[in-house]
């Protein structure tokens, strides 16, 4: 009888350690990116959602959705990760109204195009919004060299118009001369 109890306890202890070993091994596999399994979360204290995902040319991922930094507004959100889900960078886009990106593609030059809804820009109510970024999630602004060219053209045009307005109009002189006669 003592032998049976001892063997039953040994079996229970052995079963416990086998289950523990299996659970530890599964946890290691889940946490080890080289095995293909991993899990990551992104976001803050408020409501953050991912609505679209693409695998990028470098083997990583790009996710888009909405990021809510406070309780009153949400923004387009773009997160770029490596192949193991580690965030490489994160960008938000939007204004003071609600914005949510629902679709995402990687462009031919490695940038991204996001589409969704905006209440920050547009005609008033919710409108479509398309945002195009470079490979680092930056929305290229109007190039400063273009501003210089536009400024030079406008300034030159203003100088020409000012000079034209200073020169007497021959038609005006003729009509004013006729009035003197």
> In the prediction, which pLDDT does 162 show?
73
Distance CA 74, CA 96 (A): 8
Mean pLDDT in residue range 21-41: 61
Burial (CB count within 10 angstroms: exposed 0-12, middle 13-18, buried 19+), residue 106: middle
| Helix ranges, the chain (H) | 2-31, 144-166, 170-180
Question: Where in the sequence is the domain holding 126, given as residue range(s)?
Answer: 49-133
Which residue's structure tokens are 């202890």? Answer: 13
Mean pLDDT of the chain: 77
> In the prediction, which pLDDT does 169 show?
59
Identity of the highest mean pLDDT range in 23-27, 66-70, 167-171:
66-70
Mean pLDDT in residue range 32-54: 86
Count: domains in the chain:
3
Same-domain pairing of 65 and 110? yes
Mean pLDDT in residue range 168-177: 54
> In the prediction, which pLDDT does 158 show?
74
Closest to 44 (Cα-Cα) out of 13, 65, 68, 77: 68
Same-domain pairing of 64 and 118? yes
Same-domain pairing of 165 and 129? no
In a domain, 24, yes or no: yes
> In the prediction, which pLDDT does 120 show?
86
In a domain, 71, yes or no: yes
Mean pLDDT in residue range 122-130: 86
Lowest mean pLDDT among 5-9, 102-106, 129-133: 5-9
- Strand 87-93, strand 99-106: pairing: unpaired
In a domain, 41, yes or no: no
Residue 17 has pLDDT above 80, yes or no: no
> In the prediction, which pLDDT does 8 show?
60
In a domain, 63, yes or no: yes
In a domain, 9, yes or no: yes
Mean pLDDT in residue range 115-136: 89
Mean pLDDT in residue range 117-141: 88
Same-domain pairing of 129 and 55? yes
DSSP state of 140: P
User: pTM value?
Assistant: 0.60
Same-domain pairing of 94 and 126? yes
> In the prediction, which pLDDT does 19 show?
46
Taking the CA atoms of the chain, what radius of gyration do you get in angstroms? 33
Q: Kindly indicate the confidence band of residue 147, based on its pLDDT and cuts at 50, 70 and 90.
A: low
């Amino acid at each position: 009888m003592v032998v049976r109890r001892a063997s039953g306890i040994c079996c229970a202890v052995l079963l416990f350690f086998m289950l523990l070993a299996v659970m530890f091994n599964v946890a290691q596999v889940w946490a080890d990116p080289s095995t293909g399994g991993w899990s990551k979360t992104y976001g803050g204290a408020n409501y953050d959602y991912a609505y679209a995902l693409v695998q990028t040319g470098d083997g990583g991922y790009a996710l888009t959705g909405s990021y809510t930094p406070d309780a009153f507004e949400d923004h387009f959100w773009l997160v770029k990760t490596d192949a193991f889900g580690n965030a490489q960078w994160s960008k938000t886009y939007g204004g003071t109204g609600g914005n949510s990106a629902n679709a995402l593609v990687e462009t031919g030059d490695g940038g991204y195009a996001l589409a969704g809804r905006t209440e920050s820009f547009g005609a008033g109510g919710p409108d479509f919004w398309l945002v195009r970024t470079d490979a680092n999630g930056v929305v290229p602004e109007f190039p400063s060299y273009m501003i210089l060219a536009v400024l030079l053209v406008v300034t030159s045009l203003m100088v020409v118009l000012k000079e034209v307005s200073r020169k007497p109009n021959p038609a005006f002189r003729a009509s004013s001369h006729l009035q003197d006669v």
